[in-house]
A and B are shown apart, each in its own frame.
Chain A
């Protein structure tokens, strides 16, 4: 089977992928650990308390990066699912599968830290606020996606169906976001870190937050590479088992 991979796709060929990730993974892991710890230590211990929110504001360093990751991981899954549909690229769809669990965890972290933060700020752990509600819905989408992967035996069938679900799900996730905004205007503050907003957080909070976000991104890359490697090995094992079964007949 002469497959003509062009230069970019070569990196994602299963064999090549296994060999370069084998070398790159420790680098990502160390960088992730450094940035993660640095960002959180800096944020927790070396920034002043907020004049209104006191020390509670510091949960921000977990809450904001995890919330950003929760959304961006879904976007990454959408892209990798599209690559699978268009180019039938196995590593791509396995990366989407690997990312889903991490994305769901990030969503859960964002929801839980949000609840912990919400109690002193708004006097309640949970409020049917548009942002909170949207994240709950996002969690449902992640759970559905993962459940569909688990339910189907044939890996290619599962890849196809989950990719279609991811595609359609993305459209409905965005629709839900606007529907929820329409439904309840909410009390969540605006986005804390946007490039163009006039009233952004002060620099003292901004820099450690950036480091923490970099830590989360690196952590995600590390985990997704690790899990994709596991998936590739699982697929090879599956192929070996199938071959055994067929050969026995």
Chain B
């Protein structure tokens, strides 16, 4: 039984399809790594998986409370402290304990610093620590290792492993090797074809409107 699966999915950006014919499924204990050049549509796919944008065609099958999404922005408030930021998201997602997350991402010493005072890497760590307090099984992560140093990348990789080991799953768009036993999914072959003129549609179809 997969936690999240997609069937014949087409995702679009600005009303134009970017990836089409996607079929994939992620089950408990699996890590799926998305690869592909910049602008290929990885972010668009991840946002569609997280339910932030509708599928252009096909669909995503998942319980609505499956996905914890982490995008390019961390959702942190500069004037709130590390604890306050984390406690807020923990509260929103149903009141999980924040202590293990703080400990895991080495944030305990920074606990009472306002998030605005943190370095980019520290902010990122806090943003990722948020995933641990959501209590959701599938982590959907967009370039999670941006601005992390080597040690932090290792911490992050460890967090993902622990999460997956405990019956979770992760879908990660990244360019670096995190040392997982992972399934690699290259999105390049699924690029929507715009160079071929299609004439297989019926008379009433107009490609500018759908």
A and B touch in the complex (CB under 8 A): yes
Query: Of the candidates B204, B205, B209, which one forms a contact with A90 in the assembled complex, judged by CB atoms under 8 Å apart?
Result: B209
- A residues within 8 A CB of B18? 246
Inter-chain CA distance A2–B14, complex, in Å, is 22
What 3 pairs across the A-B complex have the smallest Cβ distances? A239-B208, A90-B209, A14-B206
Q: Determine the main DSSP class of B at the interface with A.
A: loop
Inter-chain CA distance A178–B18, complex, in Å, is 49
The minimal Cβ–Cβ distance linking A128 to chain B, given in whole angstroms, is 45
| CB proximity to A under 8 Å, residues B178-210 | 192, 194-195, 201-210
B194 touches A1 (CB 8 A): no
B204 touches A5 (CB 8 A): yes
Inter-chain CA distance A236–B208, complex, in Å, is 5
- A residues within 8 A CB of B14? 153-154, 242
Inter-chain CA distance A210–B93, complex, in Å, is 63
Inter-chain CA distance A3–B204, complex, in Å, is 8
- A residues within 8 A CB of B207? 239
- A residues within 8 A CB of B195? 247
A15 touches B15 (CB 8 A): no
Known: A246-B192, A247-B194. A1 touches B209 (CB 8 A): no
The minimal Cβ–Cβ distance linking B185 to chain A, given in whole angstroms, is 20
Confirm or deny: B39 has a beta carbon within 8 angstroms of a beta carbon on chain A.
Answer: yes
**What are 23 A-B contacts with C-beta separation under 8 Å?**
A1-B57, A1-B201, A2-B202, A3-B205, A5-B204, A15-B203, A15-B206, A90-B209, A154-B14, A156-B15, A232-B208, A235-B209, A236-B206, A236-B208, A239-B15, A239-B16, A242-B15, A242-B16, A243-B194, A244-B194, A246-B194, A247-B194, A247-B195
The minimal Cβ–Cβ distance linking B194 to chain A, given in whole angstroms, is 4
A243 touches B206 (CB 8 A): no
By beta carbon, the residue of chain A nearest B14 is A154
The minimal Cβ–Cβ distance linking A2 to chain B, given in whole angstroms, is 7
- A residues within 8 A CB of B209? 14, 90-91, 235
Binary per-residue interface labels of chain A (107-138) against chain B in the complex, 1 for a CB within 8 Å, 0 otherwise? 00000000000000000000000000000000
| CB proximity to B under 8 Å, residues A1-31 | 1-3, 5, 10, 13-16
Binary per-residue interface labels of chain B (74-114) against chain A in the complex, 1 for a CB within 8 Å, 0 otherwise? 00000000000000000000000000000000000000000
Binary per-residue interface labels of chain A (230-241) against chain B in the complex, 1 for a CB within 8 Å, 0 otherwise? 001001101100
Inter-chain CA distance A236–B201, complex, in Å, is 16
By beta carbon, the residue of chain A nearest B192 is A246
- B residues within 8 A CB of A5? 204
- B residues within 8 A CB of A243? 16, 194
Inter-chain CA distance A97–B39, complex, in Å, is 32
Confirm or deny: A48 has a beta carbon within 8 angstroms of a beta carbon on chain B.
Answer: no
- B residues within 8 A CB of A10? 204
Inter-chain CA distance A2–B207, complex, in Å, is 12
- B residues within 8 A CB of A16? 204
- B residues within 8 A CB of A3? 204-205
Inter-chain CA distance A244–B39, complex, in Å, is 15
